[in-house]
Chains A and B, each alone.
Chain A
Amino acid sequence: MFYRENGQFKTSYRADQQIFPVAQDRIAVLVLVAAAFILVPLFASDYLYRAILIPLVIMSMAALGVNILVGYCGQISLGSGAFMAVGAYGAFNFFVRFPGLPLIPALILGGLCATFFGILFGLPSLRVKGLYLAVATLAAQFFSDWMFLRIKWFTNNSDSGSVSVSHLQVLGMPLESAFSKYMFCLALLAVIALLAKNLVRGAIGREWMAIRDMDVAAAVIGIRPMYAKLSAFAVSSFIIGVAGALWAFVHLSAWEPAAFSVEVSLRLLFMVIIGGLGSIMGSFFGAAFIVLLPILLNQVLPPLFSLFGLDISTAGLSHTELMIFGALIVWFLIVEPHGLAKLWSTGKQKMRVWPFPH
């Protein structure tokens, strides 16, 4: 009833090619973006910013990058943690070795380091496919773990191999308060999401998806698998790299390679699959799910247990949390194997035909 596309006639292809052709969608997204930029700061607490919103925004960005590679181009990667690490350490090196280098160029240079690394480890994808490739990308993961532990130069010769940054500034303004950090990350995310959306709905995006869905047919219509795959690796690892640099610079401030372990790679893959492969929106959903759920469980379970008069040990609580987390993942996959984004669009479909069931 409220969500209808009929009655909204497009008079030009430009109008029809908008990101959100349906007016209600457009409004909804505008409202969301406005909420993120304006409403959230009105009530968010320091905890909300630092422990939830900032990680969420940064992880959304990383998930977006992973989604380009995995969701759009179909190259399953378990090396995203490594790309984040390369982005973080790359940016770190530029940052400390060129005193006075502003933050944004450092982040971009970090992203470019990740791009280079991504292309390098993307080369095998020209021959190796599917799960074989997925496992092979772990090589990138373990190699980067090793590289940043062992090669002292990367960590500016710190003894322990852990590095830190401080006194961040953007355009002359200090990046210290939770609010400013959040706004900075959010703005970057908005820009990157827009660019990414443009890419995936343009020619290159179609090439990626064509390679994903049927590579022989793609080759026959003149798509070069090498260009498509490597460009996906490049774009994706750039975004992941920038996210990694943000994670290190803005969220952690001080980090060691373990901050980008294989666990991170797995969680990123999780995010895009739970969120929805091949959907920018899905990356956000997925990141929200994976970032928020454990925190939520951690906070909700204890009162819940005590509500039922159950006295459960702290260890038991952690284990229960793990079990519920696992079970929920499986449950979501069963409800909608194509992810939360699909659930969302099914919901919209239902709304479109409302009040009729079909």
Chain B
Amino acid sequence: MAFFLETFIGGLMAGMLYALVALGFVLIFKASGVFNFAQGAMVLFAALAMARFAEWFPKWTGIDNAIVANVVAFVIAGAIMFAVAWVVERLVLRHLVNQEGATLLMATLGITYFLEGLGQSLFGSDIYKIDVGMPKDPMFILESVLEGGVLVSKEDLIAALIAAVLVVLLSLFFQKTGTGRALRAVADDHQAAQSIGIPLNHIWVIVWCVAGVVALVAGVIWGSKLGVQFSLATVALRALPVVILGGLTSVPGAIIGGLIIGVGEKLSEVYLGPFVGGGIEIWFAYVLALVFLLFRPQGLFGEKIIDRV
């Protein structure tokens, strides 16, 4: 029982961590209709910037205070993500207005390669450390009820809370503000949005900035968990089933999807895995998402896919 709970909670938290990355996908898709494959690379890029500036800042200035260094690094990394957003809009998106989804998808893959190359050449391809003081040791809850208690990772718990806060804020932004409405309009029809005066350029910079900041937060959390190095970009692959299960266009969907995927894959790995040799969680997550899609092709909370004649 305790173990089941542990796995379950562990799954929930892993799910929230995926959701954090998934959120970046959802944001950009929802607001521009672009499936941004570069989200993983952005997470890596942001984390690299954060890690390196936190390391360089004390060296340059001699101020040896971890908090100051982290804050400064976070701000600089944020600014860098802003610059990335701006450049991406200028050099890529602007020239691909009104193109099909597949083309845009490929363009973001191009951006992925570019960012991976740039990130590694600016910041190095070694493994770096982000230390924002996340507690690494576990805590135990329900010790009075269950023997040995239930282990919960403090680090994951904090990360999950941050993810939840981000989701609430972003959901409000999309549903309640005029800009949010404009963003959704852009996703539906670039040209029509242009025709009524929505400045695509600004919109895209805004969205990519927000997605960049989300990537930065994800990068900091995942980076402090895993260490910052290239493989960070591959967490995007783990976040994809979350995105489609929750629905490409739904911010809250990212969280719910994350929770379902997280729990599903952990339980499957722990309880089914041993019978088939283990290592099943990654495809299990995708198959799980696929099963949900068979019932709701637009994901749990996604906007209905409309085809009308």
> Which A positions have Cβ atoms within 8 angstroms of B?
70, 76, 124, 127-132, 134-136, 138-139, 142-143, 145-146, 149-151, 214-217, 220, 262, 266, 269-270, 273-274, 277, 315-316, 319-330, 333-334, 337-338
**Is A136 touching B103 in the complex (CB atoms < 8 A)?**
no
Instruction: Give chain B residues whose Cβ lies under 8 Å from the Cβ of A220.
Output: 309
Which of A131, A134, A262, A326 lies in contact with B114, CB distance below 8 A?
A: A326
Interface pairs (20), CB distance under 8 Å = A76-B102, A128-B290, A128-B294, A130-B305, A132-B302, A135-B286, A136-B290, A139-B287, A143-B283, A151-B277, A214-B309, A315-B121, A321-B117, A322-B116, A326-B112, A326-B116, A327-B110, A329-B107, A329-B110, A337-B103
Contacts of B248 in A (CB 8 A): 131-132
CB distance from B111 to the nearest CB of A (A): 6
B-side interface mostly: helix
Is B92 located at the chain interface by the 8 A CB criterion?
yes
Closest Cβ of chain B to A273, distance in Å, is: 5
Q: A270-B109, A274-B106 are in contact. Are A337 and B96 (CB under 8 A)?
A: yes
B244–A319 CB distance below 8 A: no
| CB interface residues, B 102-127, toward A, < 8 Å | 102-103, 105-107, 109-118, 120-121, 125
The answer to whether B243 has its CB under 8 Å from any CB of chain A is yes
- A215 CB to nearest B CB, Å: 7
Check if B147 is an interface residue, CB within 8 A of chain A: no
Q: Report the bound CA distance from A262 to B91 in whole Å.
A: 28
Assess whether B282 is in contact with A142, with CB atoms less than 8 Å apart. Answer: yes
B120 pairs with A319, CB closer than 8 A: yes
Q: A132-B299, A326-B113, A333-B107 are in contact. List 6 more A-B contacts (CB 8 A).
A: A273-B106, A319-B120, A319-B121, A328-B110, A334-B92, A334-B95
Chain B residues with CB under 8 Å of A131's CB are 29, 35, 101, 105, 244, 248
Instruction: Known contacts A128-B293, A128-B297, A333-B96; decide if A149 and B121 are in contact (CB<8 Å).
Output: no
Which residue of B has the minimal Cβ distance to A272?
A: B102
User: Does B309 lie within 8 Å of A124, measured CB to CB?
Assistant: no
B294, A127: Cβ atoms closer than 8 Å: yes
Instruction: Report the number of A-B residue pairs with Cβ-Cβ less than 8 Å.
Output: 151
A262 — nearest CB in chain B belongs to which residue? B237
Q: Does B100 lie at the interface of the complex (its beta carbon under 8 Å from any beta carbon of A)?
A: yes
A138 pairs with B240, CB closer than 8 A: yes
Contact status A142-B286, CB under 8 Å: yes
What residues of chain A lie closer than 8 Å to B105, measured between beta carbons?
A: 76, 131, 134, 273
Q: Report the nearest A residue to B124, measured CB to CB.
A: A315
A329 x B290 contact (CB < 8 A): no
Given A129-B305, A139-B286, does the pair A329, B297 have CB atoms closer than 8 Å?
A: no
Residues of A close to B120: CB separation below 8 A = 315, 319, 322
Residue numbers in A under 8 Å from B64 (CB-CB): none
Q: State whether B110 touches A217 (Cβ < 8 A).
A: no
CB within 8 A of B121: which of A217, A323, A328? A323
A132, A269, A338: most-surrounded residue (chain B CB, <10 A): A132
A162, B113: Cα distance in complex, Å: 29
> Are B114 and A327 in contact, CB atoms less than 8 angstroms apart?
yes
Q: How far is the CA of A130 from the CA of B164 in the complex (A)?
A: 29
CA distance A315 to B125 in the complex (A): 9
Q: Which residues of B contact A214 (CB under 8 A)?
A: 309
**Nearest A residue to B299, CB-CB:** A132
Q: How far is the CB of A204 from chain B (nearest CB, A)?
A: 22
B91 — which chain A residues lie within 8 A by C-beta?
330
Closest residue on chain A to residue B120 by CB atoms:
A319
CB B284 to nearest CB in A, in angstroms, measures 9
Contact residues in B for A330 (Cβ distance below 8 Å): 91-92, 107, 110-111, 114
Report Cα–Cα, A329/B107, bound state, in Å. 7
User: Is there an interface contact between A136 and B113, defined as CB atoms closer than 8 Å?
Assistant: no
What residues on A are CB-neighbors of B137 within 8 Å?
A: none
Quote the shortest CB–CB distance from A199 to chain B (angstroms): 21
**What residues of B have a CB within 8 angstroms of the CB of A266 in the complex?**
109
Chain B residues positioned under 8 Å from A145 (CB to CB): 283
Complex interface: chain B residues within 8 A of A142 (CB): 282-283, 286
Q: Is B298 an interface residue (CB 8 A)?
A: yes
Contact check, A129 vs B297: say whether CB atoms are below 8 A apart: yes
Give the one of A127, A315, A337 with max B CB within 10 A. A337
Partner of A132, one of B106, B280, B283, B297: B297
Check A150 against B113 for contact (C-beta < 8 Å): no
Q: Is the CB of B101 within 8 A of A130?
A: yes
Interface centre among B118, B299, B302, B308 (most CB of A within 10 A): B118
Smallest CB-CB A-B distances: 5 pairs = A326-B113, A322-B117, A326-B114, A329-B110, A323-B117
* Chain B residues whose CB sits within 8 angstroms of the CB of A325 once the complex forms: 113, 117
Provide the residues of chain A in CB contact with B276, threshold 8 Å.
150
Closest chain-A Cβ to B234's Cβ sits at a distance in Å of: 9
Chain B residues with CB under 8 Å of A215's CB are 307
In angstroms, how far is the closest chain A Cβ from the Cβ of B71?
A: 29
- Residues of the A chain whose Cβ atoms lie less than 8 Å from the Cβ of B29: 131
CB < 8 Å neighbour of A135 from B103, B117, B244, B280: B244
Q: How far is the CA of A70 from the CA of B106 in the complex (A)?
A: 13
Q: What A residues does B135 contact at CB under 8 A?
A: none
